[in-house]
Structure 1
Amino acid sequence: MENTINFGIDLGTTNSAIAKFIKGEVIIFSNPQDYGRNTLPSVVSYKKDKIIVGNKAKEFLEKDPKSVVGVFKRKMGTAESFKIKSINESKTPIELSAQVLKELKTFVNTGDNLDAVVITIPASFDTIQSNATKEAGIQAGFKQVVLLQEPIAASLAYANMKKEREMNDGQWLVYDLGGGTFDVALIQIKHGEMKVLDHEGDNFLGGADFDQMIVEKFVIPKISEEYNFINLEDEMKSASGKLNAKYYVLLRRAEEAKIILSSKTSAEIVVDGFEDEDGNEVDMEITITRSEFNELIKSNIDGTIEMIKQILTRNSLKPSDLQFNLMVGGSTYIPYVRSRVEEVLQIPVNCEIDPTTAVAVGAAYYAATKPKEIGKGTGVKPTTAISIKTSYNKASKEKDELFSARVTGKTEGLSYRITRQDGGFDSGLKKLTERISEDLPLVDGAFNFFSFVVYDSQNNIVETDIEPIGINSGFGISGQPIPEDICLEVDDYDNPGKTRLKPIFFKNSILPLRSQAISFPLNKGLIEGNDDDFIYINVLEGSHLALPEANKVIGFMKIRGTQIKRDIAKGSDIEITISISESRDIIISVYLNMADQEFKQTFNPKERHTPVEFLKEQVEELSEKLDLEIEEASEKEDFETASALSKLKKEMESVSEETESLTSDDVTDKRYQLEDKKRKIAQEIDSATKNKRIQQVKAHYFETKDECEKMLDENGNDHERKTFNDIVAQESAFFSTNSPLKIQEKSDELYSIISRIRWRTPEFLVGIFKWCRDNQTRMNDQAQAKSLVDAGVFAIESRNWERLAEINSGLLNLLPRGAEKEATTRIGFGL
């Protein structure tokens, strides 16, 4: 009867787990190869004739480290692969993750066919990392993979564990510190529904880092004090180092010591099995105390606290506004993590759920609300006389859940009946109509199954296509937020030759998302049939306040002259629509007005895809930008900025040289490495010049403000004066954001007031008309243009300024997009 996914997997950096939702409860499957353990170490070992996953693989890590891989989740979404010595092959993070997922399937002892699953990801995973995780699920044999952010999963586990009377409306934090990643999310419950309001994270912080710190900052220095080694750390950490295998032995022993320190004040780390440079056998027992360990990780934990403070500041919250801080992830077993976070923030920590399995449990609860879609749209769907489309919440804390349905087919003489599986509800026979609405009573804390049966006049069952109805009387989630802004790269008309970011969706917008059609004028024309003519539509992920070069490219569309049906003029409109699915597939639709053509493309990249020609173009532009910024800073005697930028010059030159040497069909990972370097340089340029951009937009704001005030005194009305005063009253607030975009927005609002006043001013209207008349040959309808010009001459002679304003608007509409700004600038009214 069940038609929901029900299975949830926590695909962790160091450990993974699988759980299933069964009739209102979640069971966590045990590891059949490690009795009593509910998790699987995310480690994969390769032999010539077999693949081993889990604890046994960890043991081989010490014997044959070049044939064993762990902590590969951190490399998801990159082009990096891991060379496996024993099989002389390379394996990608996706392939390694797929092996972990396959092994988790063996945990399931219920006889289920695992064809659909919910897999969790860190909330800070970007689009490409998310798609890589989904691809790992497909490679593991799942036909349907739904992604869920880990803090949401943890919240679902907690909320569904509690009784309804214990879960009041309010807000809390989820502090998720696992083996390799960190997330913190602000969660809100309102009217029985959970929502993620904000989050921060670090995909390179977790328990594995603490193990490395114990070895590198504590154990190796202790060994070096007692024995003679040259570059001991390099010999251990380098893949070609003679002591590389011993490094993994020490990591495992450091992890064991870390676990002991959660319950005891000290732990021993045995170091043996190798010789120093003088041939002396190394044999030590190094004692590490809890306070020494705490000091090692203090800066990392304080870094997580700073992220929490950022969330509180952004959301104007005090610690007292939050109910608790829910601790999730194996590394929150560390007493110092709990005590330090609570001490600094003064928010009570909540340790009521098992931090190692909570995410898998929450994923299973979520899976119970997601319908299986396997097979939909394939094969021939059986036809029935009656078709029923239903609508209801799959998870609800209400006592009664509204169920509605739309019926198509001949309903005359038919009736329906809805019953709950436990016999506790029976709607009785009711007349079947095109629209049905029922309040279905729910058993609290259970999974409620209902059957919907259609009968004819003799009470014979009529076959329909209705899916089984299942409602979990537990907490649901209103949706998943995106971790970063999604932007388009567009031309910056205030700075010819440069581009800027146009935000389409802002960070924390709830998936799925669909934008309105956004129109832009083309900055270049396209000639039909010319393969050398093309335009890029570039979609990026990252702060919309940054330089385009500083953000991550997640997809782009290239439209060539060979794809269009007619020539496209420069300045003609292009309309772009973007949608993002819950599992982060991005669909972009581009409509070229002049050609009446639409182009569509779906982006679900599993690794960053960077065409060499596109990368070369970006690197060249960034290099020119850097040179101009250095020159400008030097001319203004801003030696601090000039010095910071000059330090980047050598690095930029190296990137330029390496990029130029790439061939267009380069098959190595070099392009991805160079794209990363380019992005980091752009971020540093952005950071070094931010003050300059803020000063520029502030100067522009005050210039616009003065012009607006002058025009208000001459021709403004009361409504315009009030709008002006409201903007000025907010100055301290938007200046304090230090956001160039926010300040520019206020300048634009003032400019709107100026524009409205100008369009009532005879001098301005006559000037616009004369400019339009001089540019009449650029207009796309010459007959209409001539008619409007004749009417404009008459309007000026009769001093009918209202009519002249209408005529000017008509003339500007016949010109390429952006002509109004061009007109006002050319005739001396632009700012």
Structure 2
Amino acid sequence: MDSTINFGIDLGTTNSAIAKFVKGEVIVFTNPQDYGRSTLPSVVSYKKDKITVGSKAKEFLEKDPKSVVGVFKRKMGTTESFKIKAINESRTPVELSAQVLKELKTFVNTGESIESVVLTIPASFDLIQSNATKEAGYQAGFKQVVLLQEPIAASLAYANMKKSSEMSDGQWLVYDLGGGTFDVALIKIKDGEMKVVDHEGDNFLGGADFDTMLVEKFLIPKLNEKYTFNNLEDDLKSASGKHNAKYYILLRRAEEAKILLSAKSAAEVVIDGFEDDQGNEVDLEITITRSEFNEMIRASVDGTIEMIKEILTRHSLRSIDLQYILMVGGSTYIPYVRQRVEEILQVPANCEIDPTTAVAVGAAYYAATKQREVSKEDKPKKQSAISIKASYNKASKEKDELFAARITGNTDELFYKIVRQDGGFDSGLKKLSTRINEDLPLVDNSYNFFTLTVYDSQNNVIETDMEAIGINSGFGISGQPLPEDICIEVDDYDNPGLTRLLLVFQRNTVLPTKRTLPFPLNKTILKGSDDEVIRINVLQGSHMSLPEANKSLGYITIIGKQLKRDVSKGSDIEITVTLSESQDLTVSAYLNMADQEFKETFNPKERHTPIDLLKEQVIDLSEKLDEEIDQASESEDYETAGTLNKLKLELDNVSDATESLTIDDVTDKRYQLEDKKRKIAQEIDSATKHKRIKKVKDHYFETKDECEKLLDESGNDHERKTFNDIVGQEQAFFATNSPIKIQEKSDELSSIVHKINWRTPEFLTGIFNWLRNDQPKMNNQVQSKSLIDAGKFAIESQNWDRLKEINFGLIDLLPKDSKQQLSTKIGFGI
């Protein structure tokens, strides 16, 4: 039994493939139902008595289009489902993907039962989409699913195809334009190690969009010219539209024309089999030329090139700094795509690998370096006299790799030998002990296999449970990058009632990763209470944005009745966030005072995007944008007003497109529009950032002056050192132009002010007197009277520590509006 996974699957939008690593090489399995083809169309059809996947399923489109589903990867991680006419039931993208994965299992003709697999995902897939993909793998019967980003897979396929001498240090791009998604990744090789430096992508851009363009911009207008329809586009795209079944047939015929145009200068599309609104039989043959098609997709291809320019700008690179652009994905077969990328960037397009199978091949190479998780049921029941537990790196660029092993069993009069498969290394016969260590020499740029054999004193082989030792000295990858920031939502003390984002992990952080953040609690939580709550919201998206511009991944909610004891305001809560290489997110919150930990693994698999909610969000964002434009105009900030007005035009287009959506729209337009809305929200945030920077800078200097004055009067050495350290960093954090970074430093200064104030007699007495005046509003009159009496005594006896405790007790008895008033009065949160 192999100790590594070895199987890799490219779960594609339009086509999927499966490959296996075998003794240093990767084989791509061929489709047993479609001789000579190495891919499986990601299409599923249903009949009452059977499910069909692949080319045969596509053929049923003509007969029963409402029982056939394709391009469902685009809706992975959404609440969308597909109504299947033949069975009168719905199927989710996860369930449909599982059917494709099950069919791919039948490609494996070796009789193996595959229980562990590497599945590929677009680099821009967020955590929700990633979890949905893993769920599809589990539904298909895999017990272990490891995710790998597609540009990394393509890079591994290419690097392992080339010889080490041909892969010099340098940087290049992977341009992956598939059937439904686009990714571009900047890859760097240095000292034999390959690393993903940065990436951009669009989960709603690919060959399927080119098919849709052909239907919407070419076929529908031609039909409207020749025949009479009241609203043909809605009748095609709406689930309840009378021509909806024909929509899928048109998409398939558009796809056939698109493929033909890669080889010929023109293609014909035949449209027939239905009537127009006046009962005329539709029978039309439409010719589209390659030049017309190229012009149609030009804006989309140029959009991919803009993403490349964004990456180059971020890293201060020019096109000439790139060695080449590796072309991957079925849509890079389109000649115009390759020509346009080369024409604008002046970088050669590298088409050396098969764009349709490269991702599966790279996934298999990666699978050969990942340990297979063996369940108790899988473990061999046969017990050997000698058990060997080995430890070594599965991938290494070192000349020698350390092999270590622990031996269980009677080793008396036993010996061992390690031999490399090619005969280039033989350790010789050595005495076996409970622990062994051996430096294994590696052949560069290849997979090295060694066997460890145990002998008795007569050189008879002793049976052990040791498997072959496999070490890849070819190119590996130094972890996968995080596609977007991971943040938590925290209170914004300068804007009561609002929140801001605190960065936990920045995009492109190499996974796996872990971080612990300590926070003081901003309120007291009483044991047994139902209404006092600590809520930790984890989001994915830019930490520079407003919380509503990002995607919520989940909450940890802690209420009083879960606590073993009361926890006081100011006591510490430690939040630990862990993210695995396959984007499994675990968040734990530890309350020091209660000595309790609350832990949650977030596996959200669905993204909720109701059309009516999307319309409301677009309206709200439009109103906010109008306010920002008015403010910029009033302050004569015409540059910002101009930028915002351009965004207003973009948002108006999104608004118009959103309003035109029918409630039962069957396309994935809503998700594209939601992405556009979110990006516009981020751009509005970016355009008005200077206003927020000025505000937070003014606040920083006000807090700094207050802090400096208090330090002179009542500060200690530790507080002075902290203050000087912060002030010494001013140039650096102002240079970031990040309102959040500057706000964080203001918060640190506020913390010093907070500590000094809460031990200063004048401040404590002033707060106590304010609270005495507010005593009639307090929730518990008996308790508040008792605390006020104790406070008077504490002032008389100058017991300031006791007065501090009493003040906190009284604050907890205040209604929320009075607490907010007090917070504003003292200048920071309570």
- TM-score tier, shorter chain, comes to 0.7 to 0.9
Q: Secondary structure at the match of 2:61?
A: helix
Question: Corresponding residue for 1:695?
Answer: 691
Question: Corresponding residue for 1:68?
Answer: 68
Question: Corresponding residue for 2:594?
Answer: 595
Question: Corresponding residue for 1:271?
Answer: 271
1:509 and 1:425 mapped to 2: Cα distance?
39
Distance change (3 Å), C-alpha of 1:273 and 1:829: closer
Measure how far apart 1:365 and its partner are.
0.8
Distance change (3 Å), C-alpha of 1:422 and 1:594: same
Residue deviations 1:637-656 (CA, integer Å, cap 9, x gap): 579789999x999x99xx9x
Residue deviations 1:11-37 (CA, integer Å, cap 9, x gap): 001111111111111111111111121
1:828 and 1:180 mapped to 2: Cα distance?
51
Is the 8 Å Cα contact of residues 546 and 683 (structure 1) preserved in structure 2? Answer: no
2:566 and 2:726 mapped to 1: Cα distance?
44
Name whichever of 706-715 and 269-278 sits farther off. Answer: 706-715
The answer as to 2:549 corresponding to 1:553 is: no
Question: Corresponding residue for 1:661?
Answer: none
1:495 and 1:234 mapped to 2: Cα distance?
45
Distance change (3 Å), C-alpha of 1:828 and 1:685: closer
2:743 and 2:193 mapped to 1: Cα distance?
37
Question: Corresponding residue for 1:496?
Answer: 496
Question: Corresponding residue for 1:53?
Answer: 53
1:722 and 1:165 mapped to 2: Cα distance?
49
Q: Which amino acid aligns with 1:573?
A: D
Distance change (3 Å), C-alpha of 1:430 and 1:773: farther
Q: Secondary structure at the match of 2:401?
A: strand
Question: Corresponding residue for 2:343?
Answer: 343
Residue deviations 1:778-803 (CA, integer Å, cap 9, x gap): 9xxxxxxx9xx99xx99xxxxxxxxx
Name whichever of 69-78 and 424-433 sits farther off. Answer: 424-433
Measure how far apart 1:506 and its partner are.
1.1
Name whichever of 530-539 and 553-562 sits farther off. Answer: 530-539
2:262 and 2:671 mapped to 1: Cα distance?
42
The answer as to 2:162 corresponding to 1:166 is: no
Question: Corresponding residue for 1:475?
Answer: 475
Measure how far apart 1:305 and its partner are.
0.9
Q: Secondary structure at the match of 1:136?
A: helix
Q: Secondary structure at the match of 1:477?
A: coil
Measure how far apart 1:725 and its partner are.
8.0
1:240 and 1:826 mapped to 2: Cα distance?
59
Name whichever of 626-635 and 36-45 sits farther off. Answer: 626-635
Distance change (3 Å), C-alpha of 1:589 and 1:218: same
Q: Secondary structure at the match of 1:579?
A: strand
The answer as to 2:736 corresponding to 1:734 is: yes
The answer as to 2:372 corresponding to 1:367 is: no
Runs of 5+ consecutive residues of structure 2 not aligned to the other structure: 659-663, 772-790, 810-820
Measure how far apart 1:147 and its partner are.
0.9
Measure how far apart 1:545 and its partner are.
1.2
Question: Corresponding residue for 1:782?
Answer: none
Question: Corresponding residue for 1:819?
Answer: none
Q: Which amino acid aligns with 1:551?
A: N
Is the 8 Å Cα contact of residues 6 and 368 (structure 2) preserved in structure 1? Answer: yes
Question: Corresponding residue for 2:788?
Answer: none
Runs of 5+ consecutive residues of structure 1 not aligned to the other structure: 611-615, 656-667, 779-785, 795-806, 817-821
1:89 and 1:477 mapped to 2: Cα distance?
43
Residue deviations 1:281-320 (CA, integer Å, cap 9, x gap): 3333222111111111111111111111111111222112
Q: Secondary structure at the match of 2:62?
A: helix
Q: Which amino acid aligns with 2:23?
A: K
2:76 and 2:511 mapped to 1: Cα distance?
21
Is the 8 Å Cα contact of residues 768 and 823 (structure 1) preserved in structure 2? Answer: no
Measure how far apart 1:674 and its partner are.
12
Is the 8 Å Cα contact of residues 215 and 254 (structure 1) preserved in structure 2? Answer: yes
Is the 8 Å Cα contact of residues 448 and 470 (structure 2) preserved in structure 1? Answer: yes
Distance change (3 Å), C-alpha of 1:332 and 1:770: same
Question: Corresponding residue for 2:776?
Answer: none
Measure how far apart 1:116 and its partner are.
1.4
Is the 8 Å Cα contact of residues 545 and 685 (structure 2) preserved in structure 1? Answer: no
Q: Secondary structure at the match of 2:60?
A: helix
1:367 and 1:626 mapped to 2: Cα distance?
50
Describe how 1:13-162 pairs up with structure 2 within 5 A. Answer: 13-162=13-162
Name whichever of 381-390 and 96-105 sits farther off. Answer: 381-390
Count of aligned pairs between the two proteins: 769
Residue deviations 1:257-297 (CA, integer Å, cap 9, x gap): 11121122222222233333444433332221111111111
Q: Which amino acid aligns with 1:556?
A: Y
Describe how 1:304-319 pairs up with structure 2 within 5 A. Answer: 304-319=304-319
Measure how far apart 1:135 and its partner are.
1.1
The answer as to 2:237 corresponding to 1:227 is: no
Name whichever of 567-576 and 587-596 sits farther off. Answer: 567-576
Q: Which amino acid aligns with 1:555?
A: G
1:527 and 1:126 mapped to 2: Cα distance?
37
Question: Corresponding residue for 1:520?
Answer: 519
Measure how far apart 1:709 and its partner are.
9.7
Question: Corresponding residue for 1:660?
Answer: none
Q: Secondary structure at the match of 2:230?
A: coil
Question: Corresponding residue for 1:356?
Answer: 356
Distance change (3 Å), C-alpha of 1:478 and 1:624: closer
Is the 8 Å Cα contact of residues 400 and 439 (structure 2) preserved in structure 1? Answer: yes
1:773 and 1:35 mapped to 2: Cα distance?
87
Q: Which amino acid aligns with 2:476?
A: G
Q: Secondary structure at the match of 1:372?
A: coil
Measure how far apart 1:730 and its partner are.
8.1
User: Once the two structures are aligned, what percentage of the paired residues are identical?
Assistant: 65
Distance change (3 Å), C-alpha of 1:146 and 1:305: same
Q: Which amino acid aligns with 2:691?
A: Q
2:228 and 2:569 mapped to 1: Cα distance?
72
Q: Which amino acid aligns with 2:15?
A: N
2:622 and 2:225 mapped to 1: Cα distance?
50
1:224 and 1:636 mapped to 2: Cα distance?
45
Q: Secondary structure at the match of 2:57?
A: helix
Q: Which amino acid aligns with 1:575?
A: E
Name whichever of 228-237 and 631-640 sits farther off. Answer: 631-640
Is the 8 Å Cα contact of residues 227 and 282 (structure 1) preserved in structure 2? Answer: yes
2:417 and 2:90 mapped to 1: Cα distance?
59
Measure how far apart 1:608 and its partner are.
4.5
Q: Secondary structure at the match of 2:561?
A: helix
Describe how 1:427-506 pairs up with structure 2 within 5 A. Answer: 427-432=427-432, 436-444=436-444, 446-454=446-454, 466-506=466-506
Measure how far apart 1:244 and its partner are.
2.6
Question: Corresponding residue for 2:511?
Answer: 511
1:243 and 1:99 mapped to 2: Cα distance?
28
Measure how far apart 1:124 and its partner are.
0.8
Question: Corresponding residue for 1:574?
Answer: 573
Q: Secondary structure at the match of 2:480?
A: coil
TM-score (norm 1): 0.80
Q: Secondary structure at the match of 2:108?
A: coil
2:679 and 2:624 mapped to 1: Cα distance?
15
TM-score (norm 2): 0.80
Residue deviations 1:467-510 (CA, integer Å, cap 9, x gap): 54211342111111111111111222333332221111111111
1:482 and 1:729 mapped to 2: Cα distance?
26
The answer as to 2:292 corresponding to 1:292 is: yes
Is the 8 Å Cα contact of residues 712 and 721 (structure 1) preserved in structure 2? Answer: no
Residue deviations 1:194-218 (CA, integer Å, cap 9, x gap): 1111111111110011011011101
Measure how far apart 1:607 and its partner are.
2.2
